[in-house]
Amino acid sequence: MRGGNFMQLDSAAAVNGARNLLLRLQYDGTAYHGWQVQQNARSVQQTLQEALFPILGGPHDLKGCSRTDSGVHANEYYVSVRTHAAIPCVRLQAALNVRLPRDIAVLGCREVPLDFHARYSCTGKEYVYQIWNGPVKNPFLERYALHYPYPLDAESLHRCAQAYVGTHDFSAFCSAGGKKLDPVRTVTSFEVTRTGALVTMRVAADGFLYNMVRIMVGTLLRVAQGKIAPTGIPAILESRDRGRAGLTAPPHGLFLNRVFYNEPI
């Protein structure tokens, strides 16, 4: 992304009236088949487009920061959209929140340079995966955490997860739909913590492959079950073999938690 403050907008934009707006969203992904528009299923992008159309006119090409999977949630999600409409950001935010369903909220709106792209200007992301590790399910977390009633040693899993940190080929942690991408990613941190019965796995990286976080979580659960050795993750990484890693954890425990850019949003 180009340097400089976000408020230093392109001179061309001032001439032709073009604006690039950055929306900060939060959503419960339970009712949606991910971010991206689907032909026969409801998506967050489609829902946002339908709310934007009567306000800005359109259609508009929305640029989302990530292709979240079906059922995955977002504590922080960014969308860039170009428009010639003169509506102030504060009014656009209010109008969208009136039109959007209760499971999607616009937390902020600001103007950014025309060359800013919510996805390609992103330098990294942080995901959180929640596990309710109690003998009885928690009805208030049924949509937001995997219920796993068997023993989990969070400290042991945290030590094991440090094998993910660094620059590696993560082919073994990628579902078939993402095999065409460069499989090398740099994981900057992976933390496993416990608060009561809630175990939280938090991972940050410069980018993620298809289902990568959910497979990393599933592999740690296999370690907890004794089906993968606590020291086995480096060998799985080296093998580049998806069959050697754990199962893909269910989507409802996963949140896109933070999105990083070179300049503060």
Contacts 24+ apart (CB under 8 A), 233-238: 233/160, 233/161, 233/163, 233/164, 234/163, 236/172, 236/173, 237/163, 237/164, 237/168, 237/169, 237/170, 237/172, 237/173
Query: How would you classify the pairing of strands 146-147 and 122-132?
Result: parallel
Q: Count other C-beta atoms under 10 Å from residue 135's C-beta.
A: 8
For residue 217 the two structure tokens come to 């979580």
Are 78 and 6 in contact by the 8 Å Cβ rule? The answer is: no
Nearest to 73 by CA among 34, 123, 118: 34
> Does the CA dihedral 219-225-226-230 come out positive or negative?
positive
Question: What residues contact 238, with CB distance under 8 A and at least 6 apart?
Answer: none
Q: Specify whether 69 is catalytic.
A: yes
Number of neighbouring beta carbons within 10 Å of residue 34:
21
Catalytic: which of 10, 28, 61, 69?
69
Contact 202, 137 (CB under 8 A): no
- Active-site amino acid positions: 69
